[in-house]
């Protein structure tokens, strides 16, 4: 482990708190206004290892947590235990358990919708919000899984592959290290450049509906600069605890979200907000558009203070470009 991370891990306070009826593990540092970091799939509180000390040093209480189903947080069994309604209530539970009345949420990947929807549903508690990779999006006219089935009816799409319980779990859990390594290295800047060279786009148009998630992924000889063996070992250790069922159930609960929240979510995020993504983030390739990033998302926010596209960066935004991301986050917090 690097000297930086050795110092950071020693300074982080870990505790289990009760939130929304479950036990949640949090990693906390600093004192001051509360900033809650929500992670995505397949990740951990550890995804914010570079942000926690930076935000704490700036005068905030920085808290990253294991989302339900991950790491050392509770792992309910059912798909219905992983709805967005419950995930946002978990965040509010953290705010209350730590004795705060208000907080700022920041999220990446699935943590983005968690952070944003918590802000949308609890505007009196969440005073500002920001996301990496996934912006606030308007309500889908039909349940999102039905929409994906229409768009990807003749091609492989990972979210549809994840729907059959046990299948993706088995693929990942047969060799956790290989599965996580392929996932991380095929979606970062280097992996996406390779994918574009091979297929002309960030997605593999040749994978059929009967393919598996890891099928066709590039196996690199060397780790990328942003990811060490120590990092991989830590992520693997967390999924050895949790398995993949809970994390994958989040994808399976999306149509329930549509039923529960489609009439509750506003067209715009009202609070001050930021959005940061990488120019090679695969999320950008899901929908083809001639519009710039700013044009695509600005109507979804009332007060979008920062919007940045980091050149050459892939999906793991805050891990691939921690210094740039930290700079934007601190600038955003200062402007509040």
A 10 A CB-CB count for 232 gives 17
- Over the chain, what HEC string results? CCHHHHHHHHHCEEEEEEECCEEEEEEEECCCCEEEEECCCCCCHHHHCCHHHHHHHCCCEEEEECCCCCCCCCCCCCHHHHCHHHHHHHHHHHHHHCCCCCEEEEEECCHHHHHHHHHHHCCCCEEEEEEECCCCCCCCCCCHHHHHHHHCCCCCCHHHHCCCCCHHHHHHHCCHHHHHHHHHHHHCHHHHHHHHHHHCCCCCCCCCCCCCCCCCCCCCCCCCCCCCHHHHHHHHHHHHHHCCHHHHHHHHCHHHHHHHHCCCCCCCEEEEEEEEEECCCHHHHCCCCCCCHHHHHHHHEEEEEEEEEECCCCCCHHHHCHHHHHHHHHHHHHHC
**Residue 315 annotated among the catalytic residues of the structure:** yes
Rounded Cα gap, residues 272 and 294, in angstroms: 16
Rounded Cα gap, residues 96 and 62, in angstroms: 15
Residue whose tokens read 């294991």: 66
Rounded Cα gap, residues 284 and 48, in angstroms: 22
Rounded Cα gap, residues 300 and 137, in angstroms: 6
The answer to whether the beta carbons of residues 64 and 39 sit under 8 Å apart is: yes
Catalytic residue among 66, 74, 90, 109: 109
- Catalytic amino acids? 109, 315
């Amino acid at each position: 482990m690097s000297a930086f991370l050795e110092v950071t891990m020693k300074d982080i306070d870990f505790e289990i708190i009760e939130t929304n009826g479950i036990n949640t593990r949090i990693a906390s540092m600093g004192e001051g206004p509360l900033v809650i970091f929500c992670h995505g799939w397949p990740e951990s509180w550890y995804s914010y290892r570079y942000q926690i000390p930076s935000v704490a040093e700036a005068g905030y209480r920085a808290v990253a947590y294991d989302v339900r189903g991950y790491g050392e947080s509770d792992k309910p069994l059912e798909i219905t235990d992983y709805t967005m309604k419950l995930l946002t209530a978990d965040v509010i539970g953290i705010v209350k358990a730590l004795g705060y009345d208000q907080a700022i949420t920041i999220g990446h990947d699935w943590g983005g919708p968690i952070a944003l929807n918590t802000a949308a549903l609890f505007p009196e508690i969440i005073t500002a919000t920001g996301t990496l990779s996934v912006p606030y999006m308007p309500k889908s006219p039909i349940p999102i899984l039905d929409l994906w089935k229409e768009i990807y009816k003749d091609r492989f799409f990972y979210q549809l592959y994840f729907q059959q319980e046990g299948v993706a779990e088995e693929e990942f859990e047969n060799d956790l290290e290989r599965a996580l390594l392929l996932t991380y290295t095929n979606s970062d800047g280097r992996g996406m450049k390779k994918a574009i060279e091979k297929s002309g786009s960030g997605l593999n148009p040749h994978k059929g509906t009967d393919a598996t998630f890891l099928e066709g992924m590039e196996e690199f000889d060397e780790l990328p600069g942003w990811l060490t063996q120590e990092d991989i070992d830590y992520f693997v250790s967390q999924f050895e605890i949790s398995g993949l069922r809970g994390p994958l159930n989040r994808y399976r609960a999306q149509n329930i979200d549509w039923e529960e929240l489609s009439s509750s979510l506003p067209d715009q995020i009202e609070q001050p907000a930021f959005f940061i993504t990488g120019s090679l983030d695969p999320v950008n390739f899901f929908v083809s558009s001639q519009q710039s990033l700013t044009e695509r998302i600005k109507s979804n926010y009332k007060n979008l203070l920062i919007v940045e596209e980091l050149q050459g960066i892939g999906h793991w935004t805050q891990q691939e470009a921690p210094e740039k991301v930290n700079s934007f986050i601190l600038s955003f917090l200062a402007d509040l």
